[in-house]
Amino acid sequence: MVEFDFDNAPEAGLKGSLRKDFFWGYATAAPQIEGAWNVDGKGPSTWDVLAHTPGRVIDASTADDACRSYDFFREDVPLMKSYGVNAYRFSLSWSRIIPLGGKEDPVNEAGIKFYSDLIDELLEANITPFVTLFHWDVPQALEERYKSMLDPEQYVPDFVRYARMCFGRFGDRVKHWITYNEPGVYALAGYAGGAHAPNRSSDREKYEEGDTSTEPWIVGHTQLLSHAQVYHLYKADFAPTQHGTIGITLSGNWSEPYDASSPADQRAATRALEFEIAWFADPVHGTGDYPDAMRAQLGTRLPAFTAAEKKLVRGSSDFYGMNTYTAFFVRDKVPPGQPVPPEDHKGNLAWFDVNSVGVSRGAESDTEWLRTSPWGFAKLLRWVWDRYRVPIYVTENGTTARGEHVSAPPGGDVLNDVHRIEFFRAYVGEVAKAVQQGIDIRSYFGWTFLDNWEWAKGYTDRFGVTWVDFESEDKTRYPKRSAAFNREFFEHLIAH
């Protein structure tokens, strides 16, 4: 049944604008949906430890069960298929595959079988798997042994062995690989702000260990080096026979000057993009080194690449993986000429919801930082394309909507998620317009398939196109109207 008439809508001119082989679907992360946190041989991750530490999750919940996708994936794949998707981006839990994580540690065959069965189920449904190796959940054993990414000499070989195991076991069927999901968010939220695993920060009122002034930059550097090692491993040992692609997915929202006429605010907006995005994108897709703005503020606290490392990292991604959600207005936090505190890790910025002339960045969601800002998304697509000129895969984009925290079964108003529909209509529309303008965009993955355990926010943020009854034993799923909207919108946009 066709519910949305795009041929007689503003989007009529976008019909068939996306390539025939455009991938679209939804993205998820293992810790947020799988549950089964300690069954069938799985080892604990840093997020399992965080979730079981009182005071770390806003609603005191855990992901012990989450959406029970470990148990119900055979039901979830047909549901996904009914949504019309042709691709699904999911992550592997390192500690489900190698419970202790290390290069000499035993492999868990039950974990291997789970992901192998999921991949087979997806392929049977003609859904292309996009597999992320790391979505924030380090095996706890590696944190205890050597503080994981703070010790690159020990960490990199462990991550490379894990990746090799995944390529060897799944690469005959998986042709789209992502090494790291949002390495910048992982480094800053886990080692600067401290709210995410492994809960490290200079804030001694909240966290026992950590150094906000140095550790995020060490962890970011470790991720880049290990990513590049894995990229070249895949290209040398697996791609010749498996014929797949591999890359890294970076986070980044658009930053706009608070006062468009202010040169200082213009510089602040550029610096914001460099601290958030070019931190990883310049080494991988651009100059091969960190942006000058970062070096100017951070000095020797920002690690240096050797000549060999620059060569290793530069060009180590077949595509630009883009996770993005919103836009902000920015200006300097500390006035020029005054010292920036060493704990500052965002580029000396202040953020605003409204600019100097009273223009809002967009409609509010159910999440404080997230507003619907398709104008910023359009600018971000152009900025990334102009700066790096590599194919763009939009790997995460989505929103929460108010009024979805209700008892099951949810009523029609909850499942008729108009705010999310308007978000997707605007953002996906900008993808189509950008393609018409000559930008090479090859995928769009909405965040997310199911309402899930949203990290330290617990179950207080619902991002899914499927409403999940977390109080029921089987985590009953209820499709929202946005799922039907996206099915019909992409049918309209993808060339036939």
How confident is the model over 137-159, as a mean pLDDT? Answer: 98
Q: Is it the case that residue 295 has pLDDT exceeding 80?
A: yes
Residue from 143, 274, 396, 404 carrying the catalytic annotation: 396
Confidence of residue 412 (pLDDT cuts 50, 70, 90): confident
pLDDT band at 40 (very low <50, low <70, confident <90, very high): very high
Model confidence over 308-335: pLDDT tens digits?
999 999 999 999 999 999 999 999 999 9
Query: Does residue 296 have a pLDDT over 80?
Result: yes
205 is catalytic: no
pLDDT in tens, 363-398: 999 999 999 999 999 999 999 999 999 999 999 999
Rounded average pLDDT over 167-186: 98
* Catalytic site includes residue 182: yes
Query: Could you tell me the pLDDT band of residue 336, with boundaries at 50, 70 and 90?
Result: confident
Residue 419 pLDDT class (50, 70, 90 cuts): very high
441-490 pLDDT, tens digit each: 999 999 999 999 999 999 999 999 999 999 999 999 999 999 999 999 99
Residue that wins the pLDDT comparison between 250 and 413 = 250
Residue 1 has pLDDT above 60, yes or no: no
Residues contacting residue 384 through CB under 8 Å, at least 6 positions apart? 277, 281, 320, 322, 392
Superfamily of domain 6-251+365-493: Glycosidases (3.20.20.80)
- In the chain, % of residues over pLDDT 70: 100
- Rounded average pLDDT over 91-98: 98
List, for residues 250-287, the tens digit of each pLDDT value: 999 999 999 999 999 999 999 999 999 999 999 999 99
Domain spans of the chain?
A: 6-251+365-493
What residue has token string 């986070």?
251
Q: Which one of 143, 182, 256, 430 is the catalytic residue?
A: 182
Using one digit for the tens of pLDDT, what is the confidence trace for 42-69? 999 999 999 999 999 999 999 999 999 9
Question: Three-class SS string for the chain?
Answer: CCCCCHHHCHHHHHCCCECCCCEEEEECCHHHHCCCCCCCCCCCEHHHHHHCCCCCCCCCCCCCCCCCHHHHHHHHHHHHHHCCCCEEEEECCHHHHCCCCCCCCCCCHHHHHHHHHHHHHHHHCCCEEEEEEECCCCEHHHHHHHCHHHCHHHHHHHHHHHHHHHHHHHCCCCCEEEEEECHHHHHHHHHCCCCCCCCCCCCCCCCCCCCCCCHHHHHHHHHHHHHHHHHHHHHHHCHHHHCCEEEEEEECCEEEECCCCCHHHHHHHHHHHHHHHHHHHHHHHCCCCCCHHHHHHHHHHCCCCCHHHHHHHCCCCCCEEEECCCEEEEEECCCCCCCCCCCCCCCCEEEECECCCCCECCEECCCCCCEECHHHHHHHHHHHHHHHCCCEEEEEECCCCCCCCCCCCCCHHHHCCHHHHHHHHHHHHHHHHHHHCCCCEEEEEECCCCCCCCHHHCCCCCCCCEEECCCCCCCCEEECHHHHHHHHHHHHHECC
| Distance in angstroms between the alpha carbons of the first and the last residue of the chain | 19
